[in-house]
Amino acid sequence: MTSNQSPSVRRPEIKAITRRSRYRWFVVAVFFAFMLLHQADKLLISPLTTPIMEAFGINEAQMGAVFTGALIVGAILYPLWGYLYDRYTRPKLLALASFIWGSTTWLSAIAPTYSSFLFTRASTGIDDSSYPGLYSLVSDYFGPAVRGKIYGLLQLAAPIGYMLGMVLATSLRDVIGWRAVFYLTGSLGIVLAVVIFFGVREVPRGRSEPELAVLEEIGVYRFDWGIARGLFRKRSLILLFVQGFFGVFPWNVITYWFFRYLETERGYTSDAVLMTMVVAVSVLALGYFVGGAAGDFFFQRTRRGRVLVAATAVLLGSILLYFAMNVPPENQSLFLVMISLTALFIPFASANVISTVYDVTLPEVRSTAVAVQYFIESAGAATAPFLAGLIAVRSSLHDAILIVCESGWVLCAILLVAVAYLVPHDIEALRQALRQRAVEERRAA
């Protein structure tokens, strides 16, 4: 069979498709840089804690208030950012978030007193809840079959940013001072704001969905309160929200307590702690992409694929952590191997949960849906370290880490299996709604 179009007609179309494909990877590169540097800036506060406390003459409780302030502000603003992204142009809002990141970090650097530093550092939480719009925009550049890999790639930025922030802080704080380090990362935020504002283009919501991708033009879909309320009538989505609350328990217990556990209960030196964490975090970073790719692979074979990958990884992570925590303290090599294997599976669920949220929600409320997910996760993130601390006081950090992580992961696995049972129905409902839109778009054309 031959085409009715001549090669001269098809060639411009092919070039246009190629340009669009290259451009969407440019967008991914810009967003990766944004997430990498933003995470590095966000996590600088931990290795800079001692010089900041000395500069203001404050104690641990006052410094703890600094940490908490940004977390509270970020959690509160998740729903607002989600609504704004679904209502207005996403790249411009992301540029605004990057500018806020840069400017509030600068304000933290020039704060003359503890009170002003407490306020300015809390204000850095404003942009911490800006990611839902980024993920939503990416979902309109990449279709459902490959989103897991793309989200996994982007989420590599978090652990790499953590290591970058640690390197920047430890290498520069005694050379240029902690304030100058904040000037540096704040300036990068402002530069990225300019790049995003002028370099990243909006794309119609739903453009990459198979039902709408074949249309030359599609309508403009904006946030709708009725559709947003409908999010809480999707059973699979409700279970994902609940899972999110408990799913962050292990993350935050390990983040806040694992360093101290290695030092006090396993007797590690500072160098041994650093080596262990660098290796584990490097493997964890790989897990984001591998988990997303595995989710895509199985999703193309069954609509339950992503969620089953997440549930399996959660169970494997819990088993591996149990064996790792029971390795004798003197056997550091075996412990490193076991904790690294655990780290590989810990992030598998992340990209697959976000992708599943988008698999069951209409394009115009996707930022809102992920914002709700992250808002609920923030509540869990605030609860877990305190709960582990209470257990540690009565027993040990070993027991606290195991009890909180194991119970959290087992509960998440049960919830994810329930999601896997329900999700095909909600995916089909979305596909049906999109097919109906495609019919209406053709009639209107």
| pLDDT at 278 > cutoff 80 | yes
Q: What are phi and psi of 360, to 5 degrees?
A: -120, 5
Q: How far apart are CA 302 and CA 323, in angstroms?
A: 32
| Distances, alpha carbon 33 to alpha carbons 39, 42, 169, 214, 277, in Å | 10, 14, 19, 31, 23
| Band of residue 263 on the pLDDT scale cut at 50, 70, 90 | confident
Enumerate long-range contacts of 186-189, CB under 8 Å, 24 or more apart.
Answer: 186/41, 186/101, 186/102, 186/103, 186/104, 186/105, 186/106, 186/108, 186/109, 187/102, 187/106, 188/37, 188/41, 188/102, 189/37, 189/38, 189/41, 189/98, 189/99, 189/101, 189/102, 189/103, 189/105
169: pLDDT strictly greater than 80: no
Retrieve residue 179's tokens. 């304030």
Residue 157: pLDDT over 90: no
Mean pLDDT estimate for the chain? 87
Residue 236 is classified by DSSP as H
**Average confidence (pLDDT) over 246-265:** 82
> pLDDT tens-digit profile of 378-431?
888 777 777 888 888 888 889 989 998 999 999 999 999 999 999 999 999 999
Q: How many residues does the chain have?
A: 445
Q: What is the pLDDT of residue 392?
A: 84
Greatest mean pLDDT range, 12-26, 125-139, 189-203: 189-203
Q: How far apart are CA 136 and CA 124, in angstroms?
A: 22
Q: Which residue is associated with the tokens 């877990």?
A: 384
The answer to whether 320 and 337 have CB atoms below 8 angstroms apart is no
- Give me the pLDDT at residue 292, please: 92
- Higher per-residue confidence, 261 vs 321: 321
Report pTM.
0.81
Distances (CA, A) of 98 to 29, 165, 195, 402, 416: 15, 17, 10, 38, 34
pLDDT score recorded for residue 6: 46
Task: Report the pLDDT value the prediction gives residue 17, as an integer from 0 to 100.
Answer: 53
- Would the CA dihedral through 109, 114, 116, 119 be positive or negative? positive
Residue range 170-185: mean pLDDT, rounded? 84
Please state which of the ranges 269-278, 321-330, 367-376 shows the lowest mean pLDDT: 269-278
pLDDT greater than 50 at residue 441: yes
Show the domains of the chain with their CATH numbers: 10-203 (1.20.1250.20), 231-445 (1.20.1250.20)
- CA–CA separation, 250 and 151 (whole Å): 21
Mean pLDDT, to the nearest integer, of 116-121? 90
Give the separation between CA 223 and CA 226, rounded to whole angstroms.
9
Residues 248, 388: contact at Cβ < 8 Å?
no
First to last CA, the chain: 29
Contacting residues for 293 by C-beta, under 8 A, at least 6 apart: 148, 149, 152
Burial class of residue 286 in the structure, from the number of CB atoms within 10 Å of its CB (0-12 exposed, 13-18 middle, 19+ buried) = middle
The helix/strand/coil state of 325 is helix
Token digits of residue 67 = 């940490």
